[in-house]
Structure 1
Amino acid sequence: MTAVAEKQDPNPAEKPEKPTSKKTTPKKPGQSTVATKPRKLLIASGVLLAVLGAMGAYFVIDSSSNTTTVVAVNKDIARGHVIEGGDLSSVQIPEGQPIPHVAADDARSLLGKSATLDIPTGSILNPSSVADGPAIPGEQSMVGLSLTGGKFPGYPLRDGDPVRLVVTPPQGQPVTKDTEPSTYTGTVASIQVDEVSGNTIVSVLVPRENSAVIATAASANQVALVLDGGK
């Protein structure tokens, strides 16, 4: 019995493959594949920034226009100097600021008054920095106090504040009925800090008849300052 040989293709590698077809959808003319949502968000953000910028500019302009004109000095003025027209100038400050000042319209009322303390160039004039007549009235004297913490209140002092000066017993001596401290009234004329000692130097106007007692007690560091109301 003879086996019949199976007929084979002599060149299997050369057999052509069947072409595959892929269905594609043609694009419409002008159609973009980029999503439109991000673009809308960018446009909205730009509009918001523009609105906020315009509002900010409005508030800056509006706040800068709310100013008031006040009196300043255009040169150094020494204590006791009689104010003249050439000593004064004007500057603008924001309205509502807690800065003691004299309105520019009232500048004429300052002429002929005396400076009660030294006023540096460019300073806004504090109404309490000037007084009618001499800087130190004839019935008063000015004493200087070098005060450490605890000898005066932590509340800020200002020129013109009414105060009481309490003469305290020597250090270590208890306060009793027999050693009750003496008190004297006065008015703050100026305040500054001694950069060497760190003490606060307060110049106070006091009645002339009390000045010697207060000055003696102050030199012994036996004076405390009490701030009173009623300014």
Structure 2
Amino acid sequence: MTSTTTRPNKMTDEASSPPGAPPRLRRRPAVVAAGAMVALASAGGLGWAFSAADDAVEVVVAAQDVGRGEVIEAEDLTTARITLDPALAQIPAARAGELVGQRASTPLTAGSLVTDAMLIPEALPGDGMSLLPVTVPAERADGLDLQPGDRVKVVLTPPPGQPVEGNPPFSAAEVATVAPSADTVSTVVTLLVPEEDGPVLAARLASGNFYLVLDSRER
């Protein structure tokens, strides 16, 4: 007895798949999950970037170094776009014009943020105060490196040859400006003093018998 074996129809199998079609790959669940996580992370990063961009504002920064006590001019300021920081009292760019003419209460470094705490809004001299220019000889100014905002004592000394009796009188003052004199040898220090002390102190300093004593810069 002869048995007949039916062979698979090769033509039928080949016809079921298009010629040249790549084999179908099974996606593994772990790979799919990893891809989803990457997509979510990317979307989150983009969302953070857009959120940060939305929070950025134009604020005032120093365009160049400004010394303590110096008058702020328009070219000393510029603006920068930064993200708001609740811990800092940034000044909006729209207020930049208000700062011109004020004085820096602390040194401003180029590129640094400018805040209201760094400014002296009132013009000098303020109410009840006077400005007193004093020419300080080089030998009495050496080593002091006086800067606007420094607190000093103006100590009156007796004329040469006379002994000092008791504690010499002195007046407290604040340095408003420091500049070289016309002869470039001495230094002209403009002092901010109480209005009632101005005339008496000016008369005493005219003799040239005085010294400036720099107090601590720690505030």
TM-score (norm 1): 0.47
CA radius of gyration, larger in:
1
TM-score (norm 2): 0.50
